[in-house]
Amino acid sequence: MDDIRQYEILPVHVLMLSILVLYLGFFLNRRIRFLSEYYIPPAVTGGLLCSGVIAVLYSVANIEVSFDMQIRDLLLLVFFSTVGLTAKLSTLKADGKALALLVFVAAIFLVFQNITGVLIAQLLGGHPGYGLMGGSISFAGGHGTAIAWGAEAEKAGLQGAGEIGIAFATFGLVAGGLLGGPIARRLILKHDLAPKQDANTVAAKSDTDSYENEAGELFNILTVIFVLAVCVAFGDSVNRLLFAKGVLLPGFLTSMFVGILITNFADISRIKIHPTTIDKFGEVALNVFLAMSLMSMKLWTLAAAAGPILIVLMAQMLVVTLVVVFIVFRMMGKDYDACVISAGFVGLGLGATPIAIANMNAITTRFGPSTKAFLVVPLVGAFLSIS
């Protein structure tokens, strides 16, 4: 297309727009019954609508809008730091069996995902390598993994592997946000599920209630900001050190591990880091990150290969649905926690950990907390990121 006018939106304006996109998502979810009943995250609703408008501008008015994503990258580190700060070893011991089982299921799922991608690639007359790009590399691995392995695949002779991987990862991000809620809704209605008030849940609620009035105090907010800054800074330092030694890990993973160390050291030392404040920071970082990610998708770049991509996507959606309904839900105990974990697993399998958390948050906001799910799923997401 000739004479494309390009406009780049600066970071602070990206932040402003992402919040407006979230407002739009909340507004539409309240007004459109389908969106609320099937627990579609507001960031997905607003983000997709925004990216659609940008695609129309490109197609009709020859205007290409791009975004400076510096703030988004920082928000991802902040979000995973909050995940680490909530991962206490005492809770992890209680849910260790569930974590081990879900990691095992995730490993098996990756195999099924790759087999599905390769089979479809061969049926369409393509190289099996493209099938791997349409498997765990792009879907469970996400954009970062797709970009990294796409570059290696292109060096090996698979032309356009990087672009194809990004396309799969983009579609997967959307599908993961749209599919998790309906599956959870079906499981909740079929099995008449509700949160159970076990000892861990009661303790967590008690801790939350005890800090609720303190969450907005300046001292507590500054403390959490400082701790999050430590997680991000030390995580980055650890990541650079590992990179120098040839060990490649996602930046968010090291920030999360620093958070785990800090929160458990604080427990041992009887230092209180206010959980409600941490949760609020994590919720804000997650939703703004997702809004930025989804509103910045260049949907027009996916049009050329939309047919084959949609075939692969539908197959992968079927695979993850079968695995979640017949394996994950059953192995996790067929209870409310299992349902929330299942919704999160859909996000992990098709999109990324933030989509998994958004799916779970959409359910728990309506029905009640699931401490087990919010501990286990992010750790399994970390396993998928380094697999």
Per residue in 43-60, pLDDT tens? 999 999 999 999 999 989
The model's pTM: 0.81
Neighbours of 153 (CB within 10 A): 23
Over residues 323-347, mean pLDDT:
95
Residue 331, helix vs strand vs coil: helix
The whole-number pLDDT of residue 385 equals: 67
Q: What CA–CA distance (Å, rounded) separates 9 from 228? A: 27
Does position 168 have pLDDT exceeding 80, yes or no? Answer: yes
- Confidence class of residue 328 from pLDDT cuts 50, 70 and 90? very high
Q: What CA–CA distance (Å, rounded) separates 241 from 4? A: 42
Over residues 145-151, mean pLDDT:
80
The whole-number pLDDT of residue 151 equals: 81
Residue 150 domain-assigned? Answer: yes
Over residues 68-96, mean pLDDT:
83
**In this structure, what are the phi and psi dihedrals at residue 215, rounded to the nearest 5 degrees?**
-60, -30
> How is residue 271 written in tokens?
């230092």
Nearest Cα to 68, choosing from 114, 141, 153, 6? 6
Contact of 53 with 250, CB cutoff 8 Å: no
Least confident of 140-144, 172-176, 221-225: 140-144
Residue 147 domain-assigned? Answer: yes
Over residues 16-37, mean pLDDT:
94
Q: Determine the distance from the C-alpha atom of residue 109 to the mean position of all C-alpha atoms in its chain, rounded to a whole number.
A: 17
Over residues 371-382, mean pLDDT:
83
Compute, in degrees rounded to 10, the torsion defined by CA atoms 113, 114, 115, 116: 50
Over residues 214-235, mean pLDDT:
86
The whole-number pLDDT of residue 2 equals: 59
Nearest Cα to 355, choosing from 343, 370, 372? 343
Contact of 153 with 146, CB cutoff 8 Å: no
Q: What CA–CA distance (Å, rounded) separates 348 from 106? A: 9
Over residues 331-338, mean pLDDT:
94
Does position 120 have pLDDT exceeding 50, yes or no? Answer: yes
Q: What CA–CA distance (Å, rounded) separates 150 from 262? A: 36
Q: What CA–CA distance (Å, rounded) separates 30 from 25? A: 9
The whole-number pLDDT of residue 387 equals: 59
What value, to the nearest 5°, has the Cα angle with vertex 303 and ends 300 and 309? 130
Q: Across-strand partners of 7? A: 65
Residue 290 domain-assigned? Answer: no
- Confidence class of residue 305 from pLDDT cuts 50, 70 and 90? low
Residue 358 domain-assigned? Answer: yes
The whole-number pLDDT of residue 386 equals: 62
The whole-number pLDDT of residue 92 equals: 67
Over residues 104-129, mean pLDDT:
92
> How is residue 119 written in tokens?
């089979």
**In this structure, what are the phi and psi dihedrals at residue 63, rounded to the nearest 5 degrees?**
-115, 120
Q: What CA–CA distance (Å, rounded) separates 155 from 137? A: 16
Nearest Cα to 18, choosing from 77, 81, 70? 70
Mean model confidence pLDDT for the chain: 86
- Confidence class of residue 4 from pLDDT cuts 50, 70 and 90? confident
Q: Determine the distance from the C-alpha atom of residue 340 to the mean position of all C-alpha atoms in its chain, rounded to a whole number.
A: 14
Compute, in degrees rounded to 10, the torsion defined by CA atoms 245, 73, 231, 138: -60
Q: What CA–CA distance (Å, rounded) separates 378 from 237? A: 22
Over residues 95-114, mean pLDDT:
90
Q: What CA–CA distance (Å, rounded) separates 208 from 146? A: 39
- Confidence class of residue 12 from pLDDT cuts 50, 70 and 90? very high
Residue 191 domain-assigned? Answer: yes
| Structural domain harbouring 244 | 71-285+301-386
Residue 24 domain-assigned? Answer: no
The whole-number pLDDT of residue 113 equals: 94
Over residues 259-287, mean pLDDT:
88
Backbone torsion region of residue 363, taken as left when φ is above 0, otherwise alpha when ψ lies between -120 and 50, otherwise beta: alpha
Q: What CA–CA distance (Å, rounded) separates 387 from 137? A: 10
The whole-number pLDDT of residue 11 equals: 93
Q: Across-strand partners of 347? A: none
> Tokens 């809620």 correspond to what residue?
181
Does position 215 have pLDDT exceeding 50, yes or no? Answer: no
- Confidence class of residue 31 from pLDDT cuts 50, 70 and 90? very high
Residue 57 domain-assigned? Answer: no
Question: Domain count of the chain?
Answer: 1
- Confidence class of residue 95 from pLDDT cuts 50, 70 and 90? confident
Over residues 122-142, mean pLDDT:
88
Q: Across-strand partners of 306? A: none
Least confident of 12-16, 90-94, 103-107, 332-336: 90-94
Q: What CA–CA distance (Å, rounded) separates 321 from 328? A: 10
Does position 214 have pLDDT exceeding 60, yes or no? Answer: no
Over residues 265-283, mean pLDDT:
87
